[in-house]
A and B are shown apart, each in its own frame.
Chain A
Amino acid sequence: MNANGASHRDAGQASAGQASARPAFGRLVNVAKSFDTGGQHVSAVKDVSLQFRKGDLISLLGPSGCGKTTVLKMMGGLIPASGGLLELAGQAITGPYPGVGVVFQQPTLMPWRSVLGNVLFPMEVLGKNDRNAKTRAEELLALVGLSGFEQAYPRQLSGGMQQRVALCRAIVHEPSILLMDEPFGALDELTRLEMNDLLLDIRRVTGATVVFVTHSISEAVYLSDRVCVFSKRPAVIALELDVDIAYPRTQQTRFLEKFTQLEKQASIALGVVK
């Protein structure tokens, strides 16, 4: 699989324009996951099928503990599925594979490394830590507004700044898919809105394909090409919602009538609104 394939393409415009023309890039077919915990058989994911195209940003939206994180981890090859098929770029996902970027709810930076050292960690592991890597890391840090903090230690930064570093670390090796597990869930509301716009910027610049787990309805609709609303555990997809609002979106977008309607549809699917 070509890890560099997603680089520097203006996916924002592409997805608004000729979206339907592009073939499926990732595919989940009847994916299921159950755990055995002390003799008890717990079904976390019952039956999840979905597709996305290269450059798409899709959200997995659902209540806490519904199994959406489990689906994300299966997509990253970090845990095996109990049933069904997962595919990326025509290849079955059976374990960790090259070209994945991950962002967690916590920044999970290495406190012993500088900001730059943290961002360069994937390049170091992949044996690509050269001058170009450093330049790219510095460019990314500039993109997220952290120029001048390259040599700082993580503990010297605020939570929002740390999460920006984590974002840079996740995309420095130009992954073909970016998996984000409630990445802004621990941030305050205003920082979260800022980070939403930042993610859309990054996605516009890098053309990354993003799978975004969240329990915020508004965040899911704001960011995504498509929102997959999960049921309670064991997870099935209750509703797939195409967000046909053109990018670039701004905070103004949240006040469009269409936006509110989509939020309402998602709320109904979640059972929040009767």
Chain B
Amino acid sequence: MMRKNVLRLLYPLAGVAIILLAWHFYVVLLRVHIVVLPSPLQVATATVVHARILLEESWVTSLECIYGFALALGIGIPIAVVMTYSRVANQMFYPLLVASQSIPKVAIAPILLVWFGTGIESKLAMAFVIAFFPIVVDTATGLRSTSPDLLELARSLQCSRLQTFFKIQLPSALPSIFSGAKIAVTLAVIGAVIGEFIGSNEGLGNLLLTANSQLNTPLAWAALVVLSVLGMILYGAVVLAERIMMPWAPDSGHKL
């Protein structure tokens, strides 16, 4: 058991190590210029040297992601609920919602910039726009997939609509809501960075662009590394919330 756990940790680490070594020797042996591609060591060095600014900028980007994601949850879930229980609302807006997904999100960014300015608002709006859809769709799917037998049980016990919703349908939908949330949180990071690319004077996306334009490639890569760490942390937070809120789920407990 112990040995299995060690191996489970060891294999992914070994995979990362192989990639890093290949990268390192590619740069060193072919004498690739630092502006084109810095070696992993140079990126690591840049990360340490610029640690302070990286942390400051990632704080800004984190806030954009978290606010945008929270907004997507806060608006997406109620919309899914309304669309599931109102046939009229569903028929009026669901096709629109699906059609709206054919708009490339990047194309909305300049408009959001006009509306919300270069501050944090336009970024969290971008994060929201891009994270919203999976939450609505997965929540609606979850609500619709409630076991018909459970609904029949509720009817036979003369449950009120609210009781049926809060005691049966919402908990039934929780696994779907979380799978939507896991996709949404990674999309929120993408949204925030797009927002920063289009118009911003802070955040990791802005730092990356600035470093790039100054041919400070190691710093650009460092920003990229921090961005991916940020994404992983946010994803991990959602997974943690899932485990806490769904202790009954198969992969967060032990068989008797």
Residues in A lying within 8 Å of B, measured CB to CB: 73, 76-78, 96-98, 100, 102, 104, 106, 108, 110-113, 121-122, 124-126, 152-156, 173, 179
Contacts and interface: CB of A to CB of B under 8 A. Distances in A.
Given A96-B157, A112-B174, 7 more contacts: A76-B156, A77-B156, A97-B158, A98-B158, A121-B167, A122-B157, A125-B158
Contact of B168 (A96, A98, A110): A110
Nearest to A152: B256
Interface centre among A78, A112, A113 (most CB of B within 10 A): A112
A126 B157 CA distance: 8
B163 interface: yes
26 contacts: A77-B156, A78-B155, A78-B156, A96-B156, A96-B158, A100-B156, A102-B156, A104-B149, A104-B152, A104-B153, A110-B150, A110-B168, A110-B171, A112-B246, A112-B248, A113-B248, A121-B157, A121-B167, A122-B157, A125-B158, A125-B163, A154-B248, A155-B248, A156-B255, A156-B256, A179-B156
Nearest to A126: B157
B147 interface: yes
Interface residues of B, number: 23
A108 B246 contact: no
Contacts of B174: 112
Contact of A125 (B152, B157, B255): B157
B29 to A, nearest CB: 54
The 7 A-B pairs with the shortest beta carbon distances in the complex, nearest first, are A108-B149, A153-B248, A104-B149, A112-B171, A156-B256, A125-B157, A112-B248
Interface centre among A78, A106, A111 (most CB of B within 10 A): A111
Interface of B: 147, 149-150, 152-159, 163, 167-168, 171-172, 174, 246, 248, 250, 253, 255-256
Q: Is the interface of A mostly helix, strand, loop or mixed?
A: loop
Contacts of B150: 108, 110
Contacts of B163: 125
Contact of A102 (B147, B152, B256): B152
Interface centre among B147, B152, B159, B172 (most CB of A within 10 A): B152
A102 B248 contact: no
Nearest to A181: B149
A106 B147 CA distance: 10
B171 A96 contact: no
Nearest to B171: A112
